[in-house]
Chains A and B, each alone.
Chain A
Amino acid sequence: MDAVEKTRIVVENVSKFFTSNLGRVQALKEVSFCAEEGEFVAILGPSGCGKSTLLNMIAGLETHDQGIIDVSVENVNQPERHRMMMFQESALFPWYNVIQNVMYGLRFKKGLKRADYTDVALYYLSLVSLKKYAYSRIYQLSGGMKQRVALARALAPNPQILLMDEPFSALDAVTCEQLYKDVQRIWRSQHKTILLVTHNIREAVVLAQKIIVLSPHPGRVIREIKVDLPYPRNLHDTAVSDLTYQITAILNQKSL
Protein backbone atom coordinates (compact mmCIF):
# COMPACT_ATOMS: atom_id res chain seq x y z
CA MET A 1 0.00 0.00 0.00
CA ASP A 2 2.75 2.47 0.89
CA ALA A 3 5.73 3.54 -1.11
CA VAL A 4 8.62 1.35 -0.10
CA GLU A 5 11.41 3.17 1.65
CA LYS A 6 14.12 1.86 3.93
CA THR A 7 13.05 2.21 7.51
CA ARG A 8 15.99 2.22 9.82
CA ILE A 9 15.89 3.33 13.43
CA VAL A 10 19.18 4.79 14.55
CA VAL A 11 19.78 5.87 18.12
CA GLU A 12 23.17 7.45 18.65
CA ASN A 13 24.70 8.61 21.93
CA VAL A 14 21.33 9.62 23.30
CA SER A 15 21.19 11.08 26.79
CA LYS A 16 18.22 12.26 28.78
CA PHE A 17 18.01 14.21 32.02
CA PHE A 18 15.15 14.73 34.42
CA THR A 19 14.85 17.39 37.05
CA SER A 20 13.42 16.01 40.26
CA ASN A 21 13.54 17.06 43.90
CA LEU A 22 16.93 15.33 44.09
CA GLY A 23 18.24 17.71 41.46
CA ARG A 24 19.20 16.87 37.92
CA VAL A 25 19.08 13.13 37.36
CA GLN A 26 20.45 11.37 34.32
CA ALA A 27 17.89 8.90 33.02
CA LEU A 28 19.78 7.71 29.97
CA LYS A 29 23.47 7.87 29.25
CA GLU A 30 24.86 7.73 25.73
CA VAL A 31 22.55 5.03 24.48
CA SER A 32 23.29 3.77 20.98
CA PHE A 33 21.74 1.01 18.91
CA CYS A 34 19.99 0.55 15.62
CA ALA A 35 17.15 -1.48 14.20
CA GLU A 36 17.17 -2.47 10.54
CA GLU A 37 14.06 -2.65 8.42
CA GLY A 38 11.95 -5.65 9.36
CA GLU A 39 14.03 -6.37 12.43
CA PHE A 40 12.52 -7.33 15.80
CA VAL A 41 14.51 -5.62 18.54
CA ALA A 42 13.87 -5.87 22.27
CA ILE A 43 15.03 -3.30 24.77
CA LEU A 44 15.47 -5.19 28.00
CA GLY A 45 16.13 -3.84 31.44
CA PRO A 46 14.93 -3.65 35.01
CA SER A 47 12.48 -0.94 36.03
CA GLY A 48 14.05 2.47 36.30
CA CYS A 49 16.51 1.95 33.47
CA GLY A 50 14.68 4.46 31.28
CA LYS A 51 13.59 1.99 28.63
CA SER A 52 10.06 3.42 28.37
CA THR A 53 11.50 6.92 28.18
CA LEU A 54 13.69 5.74 25.32
CA LEU A 55 10.66 4.35 23.48
CA ASN A 56 8.65 7.53 24.11
CA MET A 57 11.47 9.55 22.60
CA ILE A 58 11.53 7.35 19.52
CA ALA A 59 7.75 7.73 19.32
CA GLY A 60 8.13 11.51 19.49
CA LEU A 61 6.23 11.81 22.77
CA GLU A 62 9.29 13.07 24.66
CA THR A 63 12.37 14.97 23.62
CA HIS A 64 15.95 13.87 24.16
CA ASP A 65 18.67 16.14 25.50
CA GLN A 66 21.74 14.87 23.64
CA GLY A 67 22.48 12.64 20.70
CA ILE A 68 20.61 11.69 17.57
CA ILE A 69 17.43 9.70 17.07
CA ASP A 70 16.86 9.04 13.43
CA VAL A 71 14.01 7.13 11.89
CA SER A 72 14.58 6.65 8.16
CA VAL A 73 15.45 9.98 6.69
CA GLU A 74 13.49 12.26 8.93
CA ASN A 75 14.37 13.37 12.40
CA VAL A 76 12.09 12.40 15.24
CA ASN A 77 10.24 15.39 16.50
CA GLN A 78 6.59 14.52 16.10
CA PRO A 79 4.76 11.22 16.10
CA GLU A 80 4.11 10.16 12.56
CA ARG A 81 1.76 7.64 11.12
CA HIS A 82 4.51 5.36 9.96
CA ARG A 83 5.25 4.44 13.54
CA MET A 84 2.51 3.26 15.87
CA MET A 85 2.67 2.51 19.53
CA MET A 86 1.20 -0.08 21.88
CA PHE A 87 1.05 0.58 25.59
CA GLN A 88 1.24 -1.36 28.84
CA GLU A 89 -2.46 -0.94 29.43
CA SER A 90 -4.58 -1.38 26.35
CA ALA A 91 -5.33 2.35 26.02
CA LEU A 92 -8.41 1.47 23.99
CA PHE A 93 -11.11 4.14 23.97
CA PRO A 94 -14.13 2.88 25.94
CA TRP A 95 -16.52 5.35 24.23
CA TYR A 96 -15.95 3.52 20.94
CA ASN A 97 -16.65 -0.12 20.20
CA VAL A 98 -13.95 -2.53 19.04
CA ILE A 99 -14.07 -1.77 15.33
CA GLN A 100 -14.31 1.99 15.88
CA ASN A 101 -11.13 1.71 17.95
CA VAL A 102 -9.35 -0.15 15.17
CA MET A 103 -10.55 2.43 12.64
CA TYR A 104 -9.42 5.38 14.76
CA GLY A 105 -5.97 5.79 13.20
CA LEU A 106 -7.27 5.41 9.64
CA ARG A 107 -8.77 8.90 9.49
CA PHE A 108 -5.27 10.38 9.62
CA LYS A 109 -4.06 8.34 6.69
CA LYS A 110 -4.07 10.11 3.37
CA GLY A 111 -5.42 8.37 0.32
CA LEU A 112 -7.68 6.02 2.21
CA LYS A 113 -11.41 6.31 1.50
CA ARG A 114 -13.91 6.39 4.34
CA ALA A 115 -15.81 3.58 2.68
CA ASP A 116 -12.80 1.30 3.05
CA TYR A 117 -12.30 1.86 6.80
CA THR A 118 -14.55 -1.04 7.78
CA ASP A 119 -12.84 -3.49 5.45
CA VAL A 120 -9.37 -2.49 6.63
CA ALA A 121 -10.41 -2.72 10.29
CA LEU A 122 -12.06 -6.11 9.79
CA TYR A 123 -8.94 -7.40 8.04
CA TYR A 124 -6.73 -6.51 11.01
CA LEU A 125 -9.28 -7.80 13.50
CA SER A 126 -9.28 -11.15 11.74
CA LEU A 127 -5.47 -11.07 11.85
CA VAL A 128 -5.72 -11.08 15.67
CA SER A 129 -8.63 -13.56 15.51
CA LEU A 130 -11.19 -11.13 16.94
CA LYS A 131 -13.37 -10.50 13.91
CA LYS A 132 -16.51 -11.68 15.63
CA TYR A 133 -16.01 -9.17 18.45
CA ALA A 134 -15.96 -6.22 16.05
CA TYR A 135 -19.09 -4.69 17.53
CA SER A 136 -18.44 -5.52 21.20
CA ARG A 137 -17.82 -2.88 23.80
CA ILE A 138 -14.32 -2.62 25.26
CA TYR A 139 -15.37 -3.51 28.82
CA GLN A 140 -16.72 -6.83 27.55
CA LEU A 141 -13.23 -8.00 26.50
CA SER A 142 -10.64 -9.81 28.62
CA GLY A 143 -7.17 -8.32 29.17
CA GLY A 144 -5.63 -10.46 26.43
CA MET A 145 -8.36 -9.58 23.95
CA LYS A 146 -7.91 -5.89 24.71
CA GLN A 147 -4.21 -6.10 23.88
CA ARG A 148 -5.01 -7.90 20.65
CA VAL A 149 -7.44 -5.16 19.67
CA ALA A 150 -4.73 -2.65 20.57
CA LEU A 151 -2.37 -4.57 18.28
CA ALA A 152 -4.93 -4.49 15.47
CA ARG A 153 -5.43 -0.76 16.04
CA ALA A 154 -1.70 -0.13 15.84
CA LEU A 155 -1.37 -2.22 12.68
CA ALA A 156 -4.41 -0.84 10.85
CA PRO A 157 -2.81 2.35 9.46
CA ASN A 158 -0.09 0.05 8.09
CA PRO A 159 2.88 1.64 9.87
CA GLN A 160 6.41 0.57 9.06
CA ILE A 161 7.43 0.61 12.68
CA LEU A 162 5.63 -0.80 15.70
CA LEU A 163 6.70 0.44 19.11
CA MET A 164 5.60 -1.77 22.01
CA ASP A 165 5.81 -0.52 25.58
CA GLU A 166 5.54 -3.63 27.77
CA PRO A 167 2.25 -4.65 26.18
CA PHE A 168 2.21 -8.09 27.80
CA SER A 169 3.22 -7.16 31.34
CA ALA A 170 -0.31 -7.01 32.74
CA LEU A 171 -1.42 -10.35 31.27
CA ASP A 172 -1.44 -13.84 32.78
CA ALA A 173 1.08 -16.47 31.66
CA VAL A 174 -1.26 -18.47 29.43
CA THR A 175 -2.55 -15.39 27.61
CA CYS A 176 1.02 -14.16 27.16
CA GLU A 177 2.08 -17.41 25.55
CA GLN A 178 -0.76 -17.18 23.04
CA LEU A 179 0.07 -13.57 22.27
CA TYR A 180 3.77 -14.36 21.73
CA LYS A 181 2.68 -16.80 19.02
CA ASP A 182 0.35 -14.23 17.46
CA VAL A 183 2.96 -11.48 17.49
CA GLN A 184 5.58 -13.75 15.88
CA ARG A 185 3.12 -14.77 13.19
CA ILE A 186 2.00 -11.21 12.48
CA TRP A 187 5.53 -9.78 12.51
CA ARG A 188 6.69 -12.37 9.98
CA SER A 189 3.70 -11.97 7.68
CA GLN A 190 3.45 -8.17 7.85
CA HIS A 191 7.16 -7.26 7.61
CA LYS A 192 7.20 -4.65 10.36
CA THR A 193 10.12 -3.26 12.25
CA ILE A 194 9.24 -3.91 15.88
CA LEU A 195 10.81 -2.31 18.92
CA LEU A 196 9.69 -4.00 22.12
CA VAL A 197 10.40 -2.64 25.58
CA THR A 198 10.23 -5.25 28.32
CA HIS A 199 11.59 -6.30 31.70
CA ASN A 200 10.76 -9.94 30.96
CA ILE A 201 13.94 -11.69 29.80
CA ARG A 202 12.25 -14.80 28.46
CA GLU A 203 9.78 -12.66 26.52
CA ALA A 204 12.63 -10.78 24.87
CA VAL A 205 14.36 -14.07 23.97
CA VAL A 206 11.21 -15.61 22.50
CA LEU A 207 10.37 -12.63 20.33
CA ALA A 208 13.43 -10.64 19.37
CA GLN A 209 16.26 -11.08 16.90
CA LYS A 210 18.38 -8.64 18.83
CA ILE A 211 18.25 -7.73 22.51
CA ILE A 212 19.59 -4.45 23.82
CA VAL A 213 20.27 -4.90 27.53
CA LEU A 214 20.08 -1.74 29.59
CA SER A 215 21.26 -1.25 33.15
CA PRO A 216 19.76 1.36 35.47
CA HIS A 217 20.97 4.58 37.14
CA PRO A 218 21.65 5.93 34.62
CA GLY A 219 20.19 3.80 31.84
CA ARG A 220 22.93 2.66 29.47
CA VAL A 221 23.50 -0.19 27.07
CA ILE A 222 25.53 -2.93 28.70
CA ARG A 223 25.18 -5.62 26.08
CA GLU A 224 23.76 -6.21 22.65
CA ILE A 225 22.78 -9.83 22.09
CA LYS A 226 21.90 -11.48 18.79
CA VAL A 227 19.32 -14.22 19.12
CA ASP A 228 19.91 -16.66 16.27
CA LEU A 229 17.08 -19.06 17.00
CA PRO A 230 14.64 -20.09 14.30
CA TYR A 231 11.03 -18.88 14.32
CA PRO A 232 8.42 -19.74 15.46
CA ARG A 233 9.94 -19.89 18.89
CA ASN A 234 8.34 -21.43 21.91
CA LEU A 235 8.56 -20.26 25.49
CA HIS A 236 9.58 -23.78 26.53
CA ASP A 237 12.36 -24.44 23.99
CA THR A 238 15.57 -25.42 25.74
CA ALA A 239 17.55 -22.94 23.63
CA VAL A 240 15.24 -20.18 24.85
CA SER A 241 15.70 -21.28 28.45
CA ASP A 242 19.48 -21.40 28.11
CA LEU A 243 19.73 -17.91 26.67
CA THR A 244 17.31 -16.58 29.28
CA TYR A 245 19.56 -18.03 31.95
CA GLN A 246 22.66 -16.43 30.46
CA ILE A 247 21.06 -12.99 30.21
CA THR A 248 19.79 -13.28 33.79
CA ALA A 249 23.36 -13.91 34.84
CA ILE A 250 24.54 -10.79 32.98
CA LEU A 251 21.91 -8.63 34.66
CA ASN A 252 22.61 -10.05 38.11
CA GLN A 253 26.31 -9.48 37.70
CA LYS A 254 25.70 -5.87 36.71
CA SER A 255 23.40 -5.08 39.56
CA LEU A 256 25.94 -6.22 42.14
Chain B
Amino acid sequence: MKFLKPFFKSSAFYLFLTILLWQWAFSLELYSDFFFPSPAQVVAFFWENCIKGSALWQAMDISLKRLLTGYFISLAIGIPLGMLCHKSNFLKLTLRKLALSFQTLPSICWVPITLLWFGQNNTAIIFVVCMGSVWGLIIGTENSIQRIPNIYLKAAYTMGARRLTLLRTIVFPAAFPSLITSLKQCWAFAWRSLLSAEIYISTIDGIGLGQLLHYGREMQAMDQVISIILVLIAIGLFIERFVFLPIEHSITKRWGEGSF
Protein backbone atom coordinates (compact mmCIF):
# COMPACT_ATOMS: atom_id res chain seq x y z
CA MET B 1 0.00 0.00 0.00
CA LYS B 2 3.06 2.21 0.07
CA PHE B 3 2.45 3.44 -3.48
CA LEU B 4 -0.85 4.99 -2.30
CA LYS B 5 0.88 7.24 0.21
CA PRO B 6 1.24 10.28 -2.09
CA PHE B 7 -2.44 9.93 -2.93
CA PHE B 8 -3.43 10.28 0.75
CA LYS B 9 -1.50 13.54 0.90
CA SER B 10 -3.00 15.01 -2.25
CA SER B 11 -6.06 17.25 -2.55
CA ALA B 12 -7.57 14.63 -4.89
CA PHE B 13 -7.87 12.39 -1.86
CA TYR B 14 -9.77 15.05 0.09
CA LEU B 15 -12.02 15.67 -2.88
CA PHE B 16 -12.76 11.97 -2.95
CA LEU B 17 -13.46 12.08 0.80
CA THR B 18 -15.87 15.01 0.31
CA ILE B 19 -17.80 13.10 -2.36
CA LEU B 20 -17.95 10.09 -0.04
CA LEU B 21 -19.29 12.29 2.76
CA TRP B 22 -21.83 13.79 0.38
CA GLN B 23 -23.04 10.34 -0.66
CA TRP B 24 -23.30 9.33 2.98
CA ALA B 25 -25.32 12.45 3.84
CA PHE B 26 -27.60 11.73 0.89
CA SER B 27 -28.13 8.14 2.03
CA LEU B 28 -29.53 9.39 5.36
CA GLU B 29 -32.55 10.55 3.30
CA LEU B 30 -33.12 13.66 5.41
CA TYR B 31 -34.33 15.66 2.41
CA SER B 32 -35.97 14.64 -0.81
CA ASP B 33 -33.65 14.41 -3.79
CA PHE B 34 -34.78 17.58 -5.51
CA PHE B 35 -33.59 19.50 -2.45
CA PHE B 36 -30.41 17.58 -2.00
CA PRO B 37 -29.27 15.51 -4.99
CA SER B 38 -26.79 12.64 -4.84
CA PRO B 39 -23.36 12.71 -6.49
CA ALA B 40 -24.72 10.19 -9.00
CA GLN B 41 -27.50 12.59 -10.07
CA VAL B 42 -24.94 15.34 -10.67
CA VAL B 43 -22.77 12.94 -12.68
CA ALA B 44 -25.83 11.94 -14.66
CA PHE B 45 -26.57 15.58 -15.40
CA PHE B 46 -23.03 16.05 -16.71
CA TRP B 47 -23.42 12.88 -18.79
CA GLU B 48 -26.66 14.13 -20.32
CA ASN B 49 -25.48 17.69 -21.04
CA CYS B 50 -21.77 17.37 -21.64
CA ILE B 51 -21.20 14.03 -23.28
CA LYS B 52 -24.50 12.87 -24.77
CA GLY B 53 -25.77 16.36 -25.39
CA SER B 54 -23.95 19.70 -25.52
CA ALA B 55 -26.19 22.12 -23.63
CA LEU B 56 -23.53 22.82 -21.01
CA TRP B 57 -20.81 23.42 -23.59
CA GLN B 58 -23.05 25.83 -25.45
CA ALA B 59 -23.88 27.73 -22.29
CA MET B 60 -20.20 27.88 -21.37
CA ASP B 61 -19.34 29.13 -24.83
CA ILE B 62 -21.95 31.87 -24.65
CA SER B 63 -21.01 32.94 -21.13
CA LEU B 64 -17.27 33.01 -21.78
CA LYS B 65 -17.75 35.01 -24.99
CA ARG B 66 -19.77 37.59 -23.06
CA LEU B 67 -17.21 37.63 -20.27
CA LEU B 68 -14.20 38.02 -22.55
CA THR B 69 -15.88 40.66 -24.68
CA GLY B 70 -16.82 42.65 -21.59
CA TYR B 71 -13.41 42.16 -19.99
CA PHE B 72 -11.45 43.26 -23.03
CA ILE B 73 -13.68 46.28 -23.55
CA SER B 74 -12.95 47.15 -19.91
CA LEU B 75 -9.21 46.79 -20.49
CA ALA B 76 -9.33 48.85 -23.68
CA ILE B 77 -11.18 51.64 -21.89
CA GLY B 78 -9.88 51.33 -18.32
CA ILE B 79 -6.13 51.23 -18.86
CA PRO B 80 -5.87 54.29 -21.15
CA LEU B 81 -8.30 56.25 -18.97
CA GLY B 82 -6.34 55.29 -15.85
CA MET B 83 -3.16 56.53 -17.49
CA LEU B 84 -4.80 59.77 -18.55
CA CYS B 85 -6.08 60.23 -14.99
CA HIS B 86 -2.48 60.12 -13.83
CA LYS B 87 -1.40 62.70 -16.41
CA SER B 88 -4.22 65.18 -16.16
CA ASN B 89 -5.21 67.06 -13.04
CA PHE B 90 -8.61 67.79 -14.54
CA LEU B 91 -9.35 64.08 -15.02
CA LYS B 92 -8.07 63.36 -11.52
CA LEU B 93 -10.71 65.72 -10.16
CA THR B 94 -13.51 64.54 -12.44
CA LEU B 95 -13.18 61.06 -13.96
CA ARG B 96 -11.27 59.60 -11.02
CA LYS B 97 -13.89 60.83 -8.56
CA LEU B 98 -16.62 59.42 -10.81
CA ALA B 99 -14.81 56.08 -11.00
CA LEU B 100 -14.43 56.02 -7.22
CA SER B 101 -18.19 56.51 -6.82
CA PHE B 102 -19.24 53.99 -9.45
CA GLN B 103 -16.76 51.47 -8.08
CA THR B 104 -18.74 51.27 -4.85
CA LEU B 105 -21.95 50.41 -6.73
CA PRO B 106 -22.74 46.66 -6.83
CA SER B 107 -22.84 45.68 -10.47
CA ILE B 108 -26.34 44.20 -10.25
CA CYS B 109 -27.62 47.77 -9.84
CA TRP B 110 -26.85 48.36 -13.51
CA VAL B 111 -29.39 45.72 -14.52
CA PRO B 112 -32.52 47.94 -14.44
CA ILE B 113 -30.73 50.56 -16.55
CA THR B 114 -29.32 48.10 -19.03
CA LEU B 115 -32.70 46.38 -19.47
CA LEU B 116 -34.33 49.67 -20.40
CA TRP B 117 -31.48 50.79 -22.64
CA PHE B 118 -30.63 47.60 -24.46
CA GLY B 119 -33.41 45.08 -23.79
CA GLN B 120 -32.96 41.40 -23.01
CA ASN B 121 -29.91 40.58 -25.08
CA ASN B 122 -26.17 40.04 -25.17
CA THR B 123 -25.38 43.75 -25.25
CA ALA B 124 -27.23 44.24 -21.98
CA ILE B 125 -25.13 41.59 -20.27
CA ILE B 126 -21.84 42.82 -21.71
CA PHE B 127 -22.75 46.32 -20.53
CA VAL B 128 -23.19 45.08 -16.95
CA VAL B 129 -19.86 43.22 -17.16
CA CYS B 130 -18.11 46.41 -18.27
CA MET B 131 -19.79 48.63 -15.71
CA GLY B 132 -18.92 46.15 -12.99
CA SER B 133 -15.24 45.96 -13.88
CA VAL B 134 -14.04 49.11 -15.62
CA TRP B 135 -14.17 51.60 -12.73
CA GLY B 136 -11.90 49.62 -10.46
CA LEU B 137 -9.44 49.21 -13.31
CA ILE B 138 -9.26 52.97 -13.94
CA ILE B 139 -8.39 53.53 -10.26
CA GLY B 140 -6.03 50.55 -10.23
CA THR B 141 -4.13 51.67 -13.34
CA GLU B 142 -3.80 55.20 -12.00
CA ASN B 143 -2.48 53.87 -8.67
CA SER B 144 0.00 51.51 -10.25
CA ILE B 145 1.51 54.31 -12.34
CA GLN B 146 1.50 56.61 -9.32
CA ARG B 147 3.52 54.04 -7.40
CA ILE B 148 6.40 53.80 -9.91
CA PRO B 149 9.55 54.91 -8.05
CA ASN B 150 10.59 58.29 -9.41
CA ILE B 151 14.21 57.15 -9.64
CA TYR B 152 13.42 54.84 -12.59
CA LEU B 153 11.94 57.73 -14.53
CA LYS B 154 14.85 60.02 -13.62
CA ALA B 155 17.42 57.41 -14.64
CA ALA B 156 15.71 56.71 -17.97
CA TYR B 157 15.26 60.43 -18.61
CA THR B 158 18.93 61.21 -18.08
CA MET B 159 19.80 58.42 -20.52
CA GLY B 160 17.63 60.04 -23.15
CA ALA B 161 14.27 58.22 -22.98
CA ARG B 162 11.26 60.34 -23.93
CA ARG B 163 7.53 59.92 -24.54
CA LEU B 164 6.72 56.60 -26.23
CA THR B 165 10.05 54.98 -25.43
CA LEU B 166 9.68 56.05 -21.81
CA LEU B 167 6.16 54.62 -21.77
CA ARG B 168 7.12 51.35 -23.43
CA THR B 169 10.42 50.62 -21.69
CA ILE B 170 9.86 52.15 -18.24
CA VAL B 171 6.29 53.07 -17.33
CA PHE B 172 4.60 49.87 -18.50
CA PRO B 173 7.12 47.36 -17.16
CA ALA B 174 7.57 49.26 -13.87
CA ALA B 175 3.81 49.42 -13.32
CA PHE B 176 3.21 45.85 -14.45
CA PRO B 177 3.41 43.97 -11.11
CA SER B 178 0.80 46.17 -9.49
CA LEU B 179 -1.14 46.47 -12.73
CA ILE B 180 -1.50 42.70 -12.87
CA THR B 181 -3.18 42.82 -9.46
CA SER B 182 -5.68 45.29 -10.92
CA LEU B 183 -6.20 43.10 -14.00
CA LYS B 184 -6.93 40.17 -11.75
CA GLN B 185 -9.35 42.19 -9.69
CA CYS B 186 -10.97 43.46 -12.88
CA TRP B 187 -11.40 39.86 -14.04
CA ALA B 188 -12.98 38.87 -10.72
CA PHE B 189 -15.41 41.80 -10.93
CA ALA B 190 -16.25 40.97 -14.55
CA TRP B 191 -16.92 37.34 -13.65
CA ARG B 192 -19.20 38.25 -10.74
CA SER B 193 -21.01 40.86 -12.80
CA LEU B 194 -21.58 38.37 -15.62
CA LEU B 195 -23.25 35.87 -13.31
CA SER B 196 -25.39 38.52 -11.60
CA ALA B 197 -26.54 39.77 -14.98
CA GLU B 198 -27.18 36.31 -16.41
CA ILE B 199 -29.20 35.16 -13.42
CA TYR B 200 -31.27 38.32 -13.57
CA ILE B 201 -31.71 38.82 -17.30
CA SER B 202 -33.33 36.16 -19.49
CA THR B 203 -31.83 36.71 -22.89
CA ILE B 204 -33.34 35.77 -26.20
CA ASP B 205 -30.04 35.45 -28.03
CA GLY B 206 -28.41 32.58 -26.17
CA ILE B 207 -28.53 30.89 -22.78
CA GLY B 208 -25.49 31.25 -20.58
CA LEU B 209 -24.40 29.48 -17.40
CA GLY B 210 -26.14 32.02 -15.18
CA GLN B 211 -29.40 31.48 -17.01
CA LEU B 212 -29.04 27.70 -16.77
CA LEU B 213 -28.49 28.12 -13.04
CA HIS B 214 -31.59 30.26 -12.77
CA TYR B 215 -33.74 27.86 -14.84
CA GLY B 216 -32.48 25.03 -12.64
CA ARG B 217 -34.11 26.74 -9.69
CA GLU B 218 -37.32 27.43 -11.64
CA MET B 219 -37.58 23.82 -12.66
CA GLN B 220 -36.61 22.68 -9.17
CA ALA B 221 -33.74 20.74 -10.74
CA MET B 222 -31.21 20.84 -7.93
CA ASP B 223 -28.83 18.52 -9.80
CA GLN B 224 -28.63 21.18 -12.50
CA VAL B 225 -28.02 23.96 -9.96
CA ILE B 226 -25.22 22.05 -8.22
CA SER B 227 -23.67 21.02 -11.54
CA ILE B 228 -23.57 24.61 -12.81
CA ILE B 229 -22.02 25.79 -9.55
CA LEU B 230 -19.32 23.14 -9.94
CA VAL B 231 -18.67 24.30 -13.51
CA LEU B 232 -18.42 27.91 -12.33
CA ILE B 233 -15.90 26.98 -9.66
CA ALA B 234 -13.91 24.96 -12.18
CA ILE B 235 -13.74 27.90 -14.61
CA GLY B 236 -12.64 30.23 -11.82
CA LEU B 237 -9.89 27.87 -10.69
CA PHE B 238 -8.78 27.22 -14.26
CA ILE B 239 -8.27 30.90 -15.07
CA GLU B 240 -6.46 31.50 -11.80
CA ARG B 241 -4.18 28.51 -12.30
CA PHE B 242 -3.44 28.78 -16.02
CA VAL B 243 -3.62 32.50 -16.71
CA PHE B 244 -2.79 34.62 -13.67
CA LEU B 245 -0.50 32.28 -11.75
CA PRO B 246 1.96 31.86 -14.67
CA ILE B 247 2.09 35.65 -15.14
CA GLU B 248 2.77 36.15 -11.43
CA HIS B 249 5.44 33.47 -11.50
CA SER B 250 7.19 35.14 -14.39
CA ILE B 251 7.22 38.46 -12.53
CA THR B 252 8.65 36.85 -9.40
CA LYS B 253 11.32 35.20 -11.52
CA ARG B 254 12.36 38.55 -12.96
CA TRP B 255 11.92 40.89 -10.02
CA GLY B 256 12.57 38.56 -7.09
CA GLU B 257 10.31 37.68 -4.16
CA GLY B 258 7.91 40.25 -2.77
CA SER B 259 7.50 42.23 -5.95
CA PHE B 260 3.73 42.67 -5.60
Q: Which residues of A contact B (CB under 8 A)?
A: 59-61, 79-81, 83-85, 87, 89, 91, 93-96, 104-105, 107-108, 137-140, 153, 157
Contacts and interface: CB of A to CB of B under 8 A. Distances in A.
Given A79-B160, A84-B158, A91 B256 contact: no
B158 A85 contact: yes
- Chain B, interface size category, equals 20 to 34
Contacts, number: 64
Contacts of A84: 158-159
Contacts of B73: none
Contacts of B159: 79, 81, 84, 104-105, 108, 153, 157
A61 B158 contact: yes
Nearest to B161: A108
Given A80-B160, A85-B154, A91-B154, 16 more contacts: A59-B158, A60-B158, A79-B158, A84-B158, A89-B151, A93-B155, A94-B259, A95-B176, A104-B156, A104-B169, A137-B253, A137-B256, A138-B256, A139-B255, A139-B256, A153-B159
B173 interface: yes
A167 B151 CA distance: 13
Interface in B153-206: 154-161, 165, 169-170, 173-174, 176
Interface of B: 151-152, 154-161, 165, 169-170, 173-174, 176, 253-257, 259
15 contacts: A61-B157, A79-B159, A81-B159, A89-B151, A91-B151, A91-B152, A91-B154, A93-B152, A94-B255, A95-B255, A96-B173, A104-B156, A108-B160, A137-B256, A138-B256
Q: Pick from B156, B159, B169 the residue with the most CB of A within 10 Å.
A: B159
B242 to A, nearest CB: 23
Nearest to A150: B155
A87 B151 contact: yes
A94 B157 contact: no
A155 to B, nearest CB: 12
A87 to B, nearest CB: 6
Closest 7 CB pairs of A and B: A139-B256, A108-B160, A95-B173, A105-B159, A91-B155, A85-B158, A79-B158
A107 B173 CA distance: 17
A95 B254 contact: yes
B161 A87 contact: no
A89 B254 CA distance: 19
Contacts of A95: 173-174, 176, 254-255
B254 A94 contact: yes
